[in-house]
Structure 1
Amino acid sequence: MQRTPFDIPDQIREMTDKSVAQAKKALEQYLEATQQAIAKAEGSTRSVQEGVAEVNRQALAFVEENVSASFDLAQRLVQARTAEEIAALQKEYFTKQMKALADQGKSLGAMMERAGADAAEKAKG
């Protein structure tokens, strides 16, 4: 077969073919790695969302407990007969509430720490 000035030499064709194949393979590997990274990020995001939802549910439960305790105090204060009884009820309430708030804060802190650790662990894969 006779070559024309516009023919591409076989060696150049082979090199170009290999280069295209290598570029295609590199792109496929890049896309696969990107898909894996996205999947990990989605899993981590889902884990964070679940952890935050759990913390929110517990915080709401604590709010309900605290509001209930306040209403209980109000009912007891209405039935108090003396200033001393009112003072004693308030002292008891504030003592219990300070302990409850401290315990609730510790509980929520531990839950947030666990949620963060779980999310970090899932992000590592």
Structure 2
Amino acid sequence: MVDTNPSAENIRSMLAEALGRIRKANAEYFELLEKGLSSSPLPIASQAKEFCAHMQRNVTATFDLGDRLIQAKDMQDALKIQSDFFQDQMRTLTDQAKNAGESAMKAATGMFGQKS
């Protein structure tokens, strides 16, 4: 018979299990994407790999947030976890934007560099 009133621990367990399956599928997706980019002859393949690495770190951080929220003791704890996550993501986004800008400048310099 189905438990119509699951305990908090049962819910946490089900959420953790589901999150684990999603993590596994995500890892497989990024592995396939990496293989495809590694075999790409396109000149922007290295920038695409860098962008994918940023995406993977962001997705992993979101899964980690889910893990921490599942274990939150109360609403105040959950709000602190979300606030910390948001601050970390803002720092990460700033770093990633800086890196992307530098990478774009290097690529543009390589394409339009001085010719002797």
Which bracket does the TM-score occupy, shorter chain normalised? 0.5 to 0.7
Q: CA deviation at 1:121?
A: 2.0
Q: How many residues align?
A: 75
Which protein shows a greater Rg? 1
TM-score by length of 1: 0.57
**Runs of 5+ unmatched residues, structure 1:** 1-48
SS of equivalent to 1:60: helix
Q: CA deviation at 1:81?
A: 1.1
SS of equivalent to 2:104: helix
Return the alpha-carbon distance in structure 1 between the equivalents of residues 97 and 48 of structure 2. Answer: 13
Detail structure 1 runs of 4+ shifted over 3 Å in the superposition.
none
Greater RCO, CA 8 A, separation 6+: 1
Match of 1:103 among 71, 95, 100: 95
Identity of aligned residues (%): 31
Q: CA deviation at 1:54?
A: 1.6
Equivalent AA in structure 2 for residue 81 of structure 1:
K
Which residue of structure 2 aligns with residue 62 of structure 1? 54
**Runs of 5+ unmatched residues, structure 2:** 1-41
Root-mean-square deviation (CA), in Å?
A: 1.4
TM-score by length of 2: 0.61
